[in-house]
């Protein structure tokens, strides 16, 4: 491999000749050979957005010339287009402020800008020009917020809405199909399959609302606070202008944070947003667990739902179909729950004017958002869309449920109704047979009161 010599404030460093990064990037590669986890591409793309925005803002404010501004913005655009791939992605396990990743971008943009300009009299410097009016301490928090907003708005919410719409259609399709309700994994009063699914729909609606709420806090950007929140060495008005530029580039509603001291040291907004993702994960697990319970069988368990046969379920048992999509979602949920612990702990750390756990925090946030978006999309397409009710099985189970006796409470009271249920269970008979044997109801009265569909909604019973 061929090398070139790059210099920084600590001296000379050998850098691969085919790479655009410089001395500080190479030092990070050499000093942090930890794990295989690299800074996610979403963070690099967010840095490209903010560096472009910073160059435009600095130019507008008269502190960066047109020539350098255009070269830096071109480098940013090339990064967003994937043309500079292979020059980024330092280890996640680096300085807690993300300084090396900020400098990685600064160095790559400066060297690429110098290639573009090919002008010895107008050199672009990574610190003096690409990082102008900035510090790693305000750029990394800003990149985190940009990343989070783009992932939530462009990946998580669209996948959630598609899944929600599929379930809403299923709910409407089966709104009149009466089935056995279950509480404590035991038989309970009936409801319709559509009503049961409507609960899942509402879970997703509520999660959508919570994610949207968390987005409003993530729109605040700390860029312009520089090293400690004071804005030292930033042009006057840079914070407002750069936020406007970022909003224009992304098409998202970003704005400058009202208090940069908060933005640099606190990560509460990301904790809150990841909390909404954890709530989504919790509801997804409830939904897929319900589906795999209801689809259990197909002959020797509940068997009320039929799931799509996507692949053979066993290497030894022919014809077996397993709820694999449910299992994949449940594993994603386990990962998101673990990530939430890391996000919360990371946000609680750091001292005085800076949080120093930012790379691991955003790494876990990104993984949660990616996994949730992907698993909802896969589950929706490969399982939810193909869910079908086994109406014969549903009708058979609901007609034999002892808890249907609850319909008799308003007419003969709780104690007599309980006696009917116990006798039917002991004798292996029907509720009607037990009620008639005990002399509490005639056949005509039983048929009148035992209306399963009417049990699926409130009703007023006038007792004589």
Catalytic sites, residue numbers: 184, 314
Calculate the CA 199 to chain-centre distance. 20
CA distance 6 to 15: 7
Alpha-carbon distance of 104 to 122, in angstroms, equals 21
- What is the C-alpha end-to-end distance of the chain, expressed in Å? 96
Read off the tokens for 155. Answer: 């990946």
**Residue 304 backbone dihedrals phi, psi, to 5 degrees:** -80, -25
Under 8 Å between Cβ of 408 and 423: no
Structure letter (DSSP) for residue 387: -
- CA 260 from centre of chain: 27
Residues β-bridged to residue 109: none
DSSP state of 258: S
The Cα–Cα gap between 264 and 232 comes to 14
Under DSSP, the state recorded for 17 is T
Contacts 24+ apart (CB under 8 A), 344-350: 344/271, 344/274, 346/267, 347/266, 347/267, 347/268, 347/270, 347/271, 349/96, 350/96, 350/265
Cα distance between residue 336 and residue 338, in whole Å: 5
Query: Quick check: helix, strand or coil at residue 219?
Result: coil
Which three-class secondary structure state does DSSP give residue 318? coil
User: What is the helix (H) or strand (E) element at residue 186, kind and residue range?
Assistant: strand 186-192
Alpha carbon distance 20, 419 (integer Å): 82
Q: How wide is the angle at C-alpha 400 spanned by C-alphas 446 and 413, nearest 5°?
A: 40
| Gap between the Cα atoms of 105 and 302, Å rounded | 56
Answer yes or no: are the C-beta atoms of 332 and 243 closer than 8 Å. no
């Amino acid at each position: 491999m061929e090398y070139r010599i790059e210099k920084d404030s600590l001296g000379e460093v050998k850098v691969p000749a085919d790479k655009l990064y410089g001395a500080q990037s190479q030092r990070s590669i050499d000093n942090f050979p930890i794990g295989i986890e690299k800074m996610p591409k979403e963070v690099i793309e967010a840095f490209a957005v903010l560096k472009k925005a910073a160059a435009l803002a600095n130019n507008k404010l008269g502190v960066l010339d047109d020539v350098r501004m255009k070269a830096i913005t071109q480098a940013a655009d090339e990064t967003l287009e994937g043309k500079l791939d292979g020059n980024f992605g330092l280890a996640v396990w680096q300085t807690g402020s993300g300084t090396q990743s900020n400098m990685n971008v600064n160095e790559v943009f400066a060297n690429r800008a110098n290639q573009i300009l090919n002008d010895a009299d107008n050199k672009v410097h990574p610190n003096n020009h690409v990082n102008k009016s900035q510090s790693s301490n305000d750029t990394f928090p800003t990149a985190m917020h940009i990343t989070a907003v783009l992932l939530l708005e462009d990946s998580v919410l669209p996948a959630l809405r598609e899944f929600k719409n599929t379930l809403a259609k299923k709910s409407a399709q089966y709104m009149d199909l009466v089935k056995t309700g279950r509480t404590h994994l035991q038989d309970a009063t009936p409801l319709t399959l559509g009503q049961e699914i409507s609960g899942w729909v509402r879970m997703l609606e509520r999660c959508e609302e919570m994610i949207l709420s968390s987005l409003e806090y993530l729109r605040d950007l700390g860029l312009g606070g520089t090293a400690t929140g004071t804005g030292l060495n930033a042009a006057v008005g840079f914070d407002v202008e750069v936020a406007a530029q970022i909003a224009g580039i992304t098409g998202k509603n970003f704005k400058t944070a009202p208090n940069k001291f908060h933005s640099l040291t606190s990560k509460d907004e990301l904790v809150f947003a990841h909390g909404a993702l954890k709530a989504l994960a919790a509801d997804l697990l409830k939904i897929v667990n319900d589906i795999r319970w209801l689809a259990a069988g197909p002959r020797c368990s509940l068997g009320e739902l039929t799931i799509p046969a996507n692949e053979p379920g066993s290497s030894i048992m022919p014809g077996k179909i397993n709820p694999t999509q449910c299992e994949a979602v449940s594993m994603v949920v386990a990962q998101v729950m673990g990530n939430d612990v890391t996000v919360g702990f990371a946000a609680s750390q750091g001292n005085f004017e800076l949080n120093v756990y930012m790379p691991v925090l955003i790494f876990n946030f990104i993984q949660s958002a990616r996994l949730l978006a992907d698993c909802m999309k896969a589950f929706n397409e490969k399982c939810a869309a193909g869910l079908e009710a086994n109406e014969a099985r549903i009708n058979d189970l609901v007609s034999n449920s002892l808890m249907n006796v609850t319909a008799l409470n308003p007419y003969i009271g709780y104690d007599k109704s309980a006696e009917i249920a116990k006798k039917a269970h002991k004798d292996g008979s029907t509720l009607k047979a037990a009620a008639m044997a005990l002399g509490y109801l005639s056949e005509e009265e039983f048929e009148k009161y035992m209306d399963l569909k009417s049990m699926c909604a409130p009703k007023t019973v006038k007792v004589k």
